[in-house]
Amino acid sequence: MVFSGRKRVALISVHGDPAIEIGKEEAGGQNVYVRHVGEALALQGWQVDMFTRRTSPEQSAVVQHTPHCRTIRFTAGPQRFVPRDEIFEFLPEFVQAFLEFQQQQETPYQLIHSNYWLSSWVGMELSRKLAIPQVHTYHSLGAVKYKSISTIPLIAKTRLAVEKKCLETVDRVVATSPQEQEHMRSLVSAHGKVDIIPCGTRIDHFGTIAQAEARHTLGIKPDEKVVLYVGRFDPRKGIETLVRAVHRCQARHTESLRLIIGGGSRPGYSDGDERERIEAIVAELGITAITHFPGRLSHEDLPTYYAAADVCVVPSHYEPFGLVTIEAMACGTPVIGSDVGGLQFTVVPEETGLLAPPKDEVAFATALDRILLNPDWRNQLGQAARQRVETMFSWHGVASQLGHLYEALIEEQQLQESSVDASSKSLAQVSA
Ligand code: UDP
């Protein structure tokens, strides 16, 4: 296939398949980011191929999303779900598959944009072998993550070394918030080039439904107080803090309080342990009757859930960016987030929501009370939240910033190549 006139970029996301269902097992923000960045770049004139690992023999090798944007799945390791901490050993196979694929193409890729540390390793190999620039987005930093968990995985040493090498050597690292950039500098390395380009959201998709209509669709009464969580079931997401906070403030809202915890797979999947743990805490606290687990929510249904809620809570222990935050804000719903990472960038305390120290159920309960007991203020926060997302976090804006960065790096590379050509010609003339 020839893609006339279009510059070609390869987005690499080894473990985060941009074409699969989001919200279950390990599929979350990275999958959404890669998919929407890819589609938005294609609308802006790029030919975008997104590369990922095949996790089942039933999956198609190629998924065409839009005329100039597709997902390509390589076999690297077994064709089944493998937790991300166990994927490293299959990466050389992924690199080999990419090189073979590229050989069959008429036009070479001009730039690689890798996502997460596993893909940064793949990207560094390819960038060196193919002599093309590499941009990298971490999505999560080992150096920060390992501070917030008690069991450090065996892969940690390798991950930390790869993340350091990546920051110090790739052409540009993209931090999605000033807080992430600060973490890179203080915990990973003082060297390397970093640009800040945030994550985005679909502002035309999130924010089109009014609260009354959304509640009618979901069968929620107008006078109920609805607290919403959306995301993966993972201990780092801090769902326990939310559940305990809701239990604390329950008495002040009588029986009209409702907690919806959206996300997660069916029993038997890798996130099942955390879901069972949370369900057990809910039962132990005696809030089963007001707590609902609707399971994985599709992006078609999510605008209705966000709009129906009085407040969306993102209680993560660590959050590099947090797409759920800007999705809820785009729907005019204020967010109570942990005072960490990207949430300090997206949520403006007292203007678009509130921040509370991570793991602090008392502080979360106080924040919930403040918003739930003041409906007018809640609406003001929600309106300001929507405005902030419109101004700062559309995918179109994000992709155009990335596109400019790619163009600049490709141009730099071409200049370097032409100056190398010129100097080898003049050397040849001298020796002649
Ligand atoms: N998500 C979803 N359905 C669910 C749960 C989550 O579509 O049931 C999506 C959510 O809308 C968001 C992404 O998964 O786009 C989660 O991204 P975030 O950055 O908040 O968290 P991560 O998963 O990257 O830690």
Query: Mind listing the pLDDT tens digit for each residue in 331-350?
Result: 999 999 999 999 999 999 99
Question: Residues enclosing ligand 1, CB less than 6 A?
Answer: 22-23, 28-30, 32, 230-232, 262-263, 296-297, 299, 302, 321-324, 327
Judged against a pLDDT cut of 80, whether residue 138 lies above it is answered with yes
Q: Which atom of ligand 1 is nearest to the CA of 325?
A: 20
Q: Residue 18's CB: how many other CB atoms inside 10 A?
A: 28
pLDDT tens, position by position, 351-377: 999 999 999 999 999 999 999 999 999
For 200, list phi and psi in degrees, rounded to 5. Answer: -130, -175
Q: Where are the alpha helices (DSSP H) in 146-238?
A: 156-169, 178-183, 211-218
pLDDT tens, position by position, 214-265: 999 999 999 999 999 999 999 999 999 999 999 999 878 765 999 999 998 6
CB 18 within 8 A of CB 40: no
Q: Residue 153's CB: how many other CB atoms inside 10 A?
A: 16
| 86 contacts: CB under 8 Å, gap ≥ 6 | 155
Write down the domain spans for the chain.
Answer: 7-200+394-423, 211-392
The CATH superfamily assigned to 7-200+394-423 is: Glycogen Phosphorylase B; (3.40.50.2000)
Alpha carbon separation from 49 to 57, 73, 112, 198 (Å, rounded): 21, 10, 10, 21
Q: Residue 99's CB: how many other CB atoms inside 10 A?
A: 13
What is the chain's mean pLDDT, rounded? 93
Global pTM reads 0.86
Atom 14 (ligand 1) nearest CA: 28
Q: What pLDDT, on the 0 to 100 scale, is given for residue 417?
A: 85
Judged against a pLDDT cut of 70, whether residue 29 lies above it is answered with yes
Judged against a pLDDT cut of 50, whether residue 30 lies above it is answered with yes
CB 351 within 8 A of CB 384: yes
Q: What pLDDT, on the 0 to 100 scale, is given for residue 269?
A: 65
pLDDT tens, position by position, 68-104: 999 999 999 999 999 999 999 999 999 999 999 999 9
The CATH superfamily assigned to 211-392 is: Glycogen Phosphorylase B; (3.40.50.2000)
Taking residues 170-179, report their average pLDDT. Answer: 96
Q: Which atom of ligand 1 is nearest to the CA of 327?
A: 11
- Ligand 1: distance of its center to the CA of 149 in Å? 20
Same fold, 7-200+394-423 and 211-392: yes
Percent of the residues in the chain that have a pLDDT greater than 90, as a whole number: 83
